[in-house]
Homo-oligomer: A and B are copies of this chain.
Amino acid sequence: MLTHFNEYGDARMVDVTGKNISDRRAVATATISMKKETIGLIKNKEISKGDVLATATIGGIMGAKKTSGLIPMCHNIFISGVEIKYEILESSVKIFAEVKTSGQTGVEMEALTAVSIAALAIYDMCKAFDKEMIISDIMLIEKTGGKSGHFINSKYNGG
């Protein structure tokens, strides 16, 4: 492509025209740490702005659909399914997202975006009670489909 032009301002959305269409799937996670009291408010649905995890789930799913509009070099793709779940611990909430597609590119960015936006939505719903929440451990857990095959993150240790 355009190989004879000067190399200024260089960034590209990689050409995937030749890649195979295959069923692809990615699972990502994030953790948001907060005060024990805030966990209690979430569990008992006592946050006045609304149901925290229902709101985070919808933010995360809608965020997954917006990934290519957010991440500059990311392809816009058809997402065939998104699911978000939570594990509520003593002073943190773990977020998991699974995203599926049938297409020419993987959905790891969609899964990572889903958990990130869900975590930010939790922060937003609870920030009147706790401004010192920390979002961490955003990582890809697993990825299937495509040429590179089955990837399992060696740095992920549980859930």
A side interface size, CB within 8 A: 93
A153 on interface, CB distance cutoff 8 Å:
yes
> CB within 8 Å of B: which residues of A?
1-2, 5-17, 23, 27, 30, 48-59, 61-66, 68-88, 96, 98, 100-104, 108-109, 112-113, 116-117, 119-121, 123-125, 127, 131-140, 143, 151, 153-155, 159
The answer to whether B124 touches A87, judged by C-beta atoms less than 8 angstroms apart, is no
- Return A69 CB to nearest CB of chain B, in Å: 7
Closest to A143 in B: B131
27 contacts between A and B (CB under 8 A): A2-B83, A2-B85, A2-B98, A5-B86, A5-B159, A6-B87, A9-B56, A10-B51, A12-B81, A12-B83, A13-B64, A13-B79, A17-B102, A49-B73, A50-B73, A55-B72, A58-B58, A59-B72, A65-B76, A66-B66, A75-B78, A108-B127, A112-B120, A116-B116, A132-B140, A134-B139, A135-B136
